[in-house]
Amino acid sequence: MDKRELAAHIRSGEGISTEFKRCGNRPERDFFETVCSFANRQGGNIFLGVEDDGAISGVPKASALGVKRNIANVLNDPNLVRPSPLVEVEDVDCDGKLVIRVWVPMGPAVYSYKGTVYDRLADTDVSIKGVDQISLMYLRKQNIFSERRIYRYVGMGDLRLDLVARMRQMAIARKPDHLWGSLDDAQMLRSAKLYAKDRSTGEEGFTLAAVLLLGDDDVIGDVCPAYKTDAVFRMGDTDRYDDRLVVRTNLIESYDLLSEFARKHLPDRFVLDGDVRKSARDIIVRELVSNLLIHREFMSPFPATLVIDSGGIRTENASRALYEGRITLSDFNPMPKNPTIADVYAHIGRAEELGSGMRNLDKFSRLYSGRVATLEDGDVFRASVPVAWSAAGSGRDEVSGLVASIIERDGSLAASELAKAGGVSVRTAQRWIRRLTEGGELKVSSRDPHRYVLHDTGQDNDAT
């Protein structure tokens, strides 16, 4: 690394994989905490001789050799750091000042300093003490998908064959010539990779994915005792709930139960996708529920939740992510958590290609509420979609959705366009526009007094 590359790191500032440390004759205690947190997360650079604000103070050159020896001695002392992480050390000359770069790659083990495990969250080293949190860290570092675990003593009698038949019917309904239509039950389960063989041990049998998708409730409880999804609708007292559903059954029927619960408590709103009217609510529910059930670490004791309250609808579930933080479309690199379960969901029409869910949430959240969905990955995956409750139940939600989707597409709106999209007369469309204008949702375009734009977005262009 040269001083130009160092300057680029300094401009970016501290973060999940960058840390600045002042250093005199030897590194401070928090240096070794950061080494462990980087090794436990995604790796990163520690720059010794750089202040928190990015100013380069440098490491005394007479102390440089002693600093490096101290790093090696501490990291290889099992009474201090366990196990010993791999690091690389490099000197960087910056206009006469010495900066020592310590590169810490992500390690395969769980690392601790003086008996405490550290994890990296944003630009902070956090001590991890709870058993649940440490368990999540071990799960994240496993190099196998837990859904592929084989259970030798699970047989066909432990699976619900009515669900196997239902899976086949759903796949054929989506694609009439689907392969599953020509296979018997056993062949179909092998084709779906729900019956597998471990090529390293020779062990074969039904997998965890098979149990979760098709097992009866007792078998699921035996294999995954912590497995459940807690759905809550809460609009009043935050310490109580207005409705609740606890789901512990298979992933086929769980989808139905959770989707029905969410649709029951969310206002419906039809929007235009191109020239096609769609229910934004149903699309959002489909994506959130599918994600909650597919991209989830089932061996984790962390409970999965779906909550609907005054802020909107949000979900939380255990994950096995390599990265921590907000997910955006510009830097989104989808990674399957349970590829076998995701593949089955795709065959039966409950999921599409990897990454399409985020694109749909981003698009239809804007049309549904005028605001963006937020997704954050880490040991816990969190997704949230805002809900505009004020229009719920008044019949206004569908009109608002159509208006928002037309303006999203065309930049502005005329009464004739709304009438055509809504299948009503121009007079009715004018009445809808007047109501939304009086309510502060719309305003007259400054470019054309016969067209309208959304009031609170600053949008005032006419693309027609």
- The answer to whether position 288 is within a domain reads yes
Is 111's pLDDT higher than 80? yes
User: Which residue among 338, 373, 390 closes a domain?
Assistant: 390
Which has more pLDDT, 392 or 237?
237
Q: Are residues 247 and 360 in the same domain?
A: yes
Q: Are residues 86 and 161 in the same domain?
A: no
User: Which residue among 360, 390, 420 closes a domain?
Assistant: 390
- The answer to whether position 459 is within a domain reads no
Q: Are residues 74 and 18 in the same domain?
A: yes
Q: What is the Cα–Cα distance from 343 to 328, expressed in whole angstroms?
A: 24
Q: What is the pLDDT of residue 431?
A: 87
How many residues are present in the chain? 464
Q: Are residues 398 and 434 in the same domain?
A: yes
- The answer to whether position 463 is within a domain reads no
Q: Are residues 242 and 363 in the same domain?
A: yes
User: Over the stretch 400-437, which tens digit does the pLDDT of each residue have?
Assistant: 777 887 887 888 889 998 888 776 788 888 888 988 88
Section 176-194 average pLDDT: 95
CA geometry: angle at 390 spanning 292 and 420, to 5°? 90
Q: Are residues 211 and 236 in the same domain?
A: no
- The answer to whether position 99 is within a domain reads yes
**Residues near 236 by Cβ (< 8 Å), separated by ≥ 6?**
242
- The answer to whether position 24 is within a domain reads yes
Is 353's pLDDT higher than 90? no
Q: Are residues 235 and 105 in the same domain?
A: no
Q: Are residues 403 and 384 in the same domain?
A: no
Q: Are residues 399 and 448 in the same domain?
A: yes
User: Which residue among 223, 248, 267 closes a domain?
Assistant: 223
- CB 445, CB 460: distance < 8 Å: yes
- The answer to whether position 460 is within a domain reads no
Q: Are residues 42 and 161 in the same domain?
A: no
Range with the poorest average pLDDT among 130-139, 178-187, 298-307, 351-360 = 351-360
Q: What is the Cα–Cα distance from 313 to 284, expressed in whole angstroms?
A: 9
**Percentage of the chain exceeding pLDDT 90:** 50
Domain at 257, CATH number: 3.30.565.60
Domain at 73, CATH number: 3.30.950.30
Radius of gyration (C-alpha) of the chain in whole angstroms:
27
Q: What is the Cα–Cα distance from 382 to 375, expressed in whole angstroms?
A: 6
Amino acid identity for residue 27 in this structure: P
Is 46's pLDDT higher than 90? yes
Q: What is the Cα–Cα distance from 141 to 121, expressed in whole angstroms?
A: 16
Section 377-403 average pLDDT: 71
**Residues near 392 by Cβ (< 8 Å), separated by ≥ 6?**
267
User: Over the stretch 58-109, which tens digit does the pLDDT of each residue have?
Assistant: 999 999 999 999 999 999 999 999 999 989 999 999 999 999 999 998 887 8
Q: What is the pLDDT of residue 395?
A: 43
Q: Are residues 151 and 170 in the same domain?
A: yes
**Residues near 338 by Cβ (< 8 Å), separated by ≥ 6?**
145, 147, 209, 294, 295, 296, 298
Residue 456 pLDDT grade (very low, low, confident, very high; cuts 50, 70, 90):
low
Domain at 448, CATH number: 1.10.10.10
Q: Into how many domains does the chain fold? A: 4
- The answer to whether position 89 is within a domain reads yes
Section 330-356 average pLDDT: 76
Q: Are residues 345 and 403 in the same domain?
A: no
Is 463's pLDDT higher than 50? no
Domain span at residue 33?
Answer: 3-129
Residue with tokens 């409705």: 243
Average pLDDT in the chain? 86
Range with the poorest average pLDDT among 27-36, 288-297, 305-314, 390-399 = 390-399
- The answer to whether position 139 is within a domain reads no
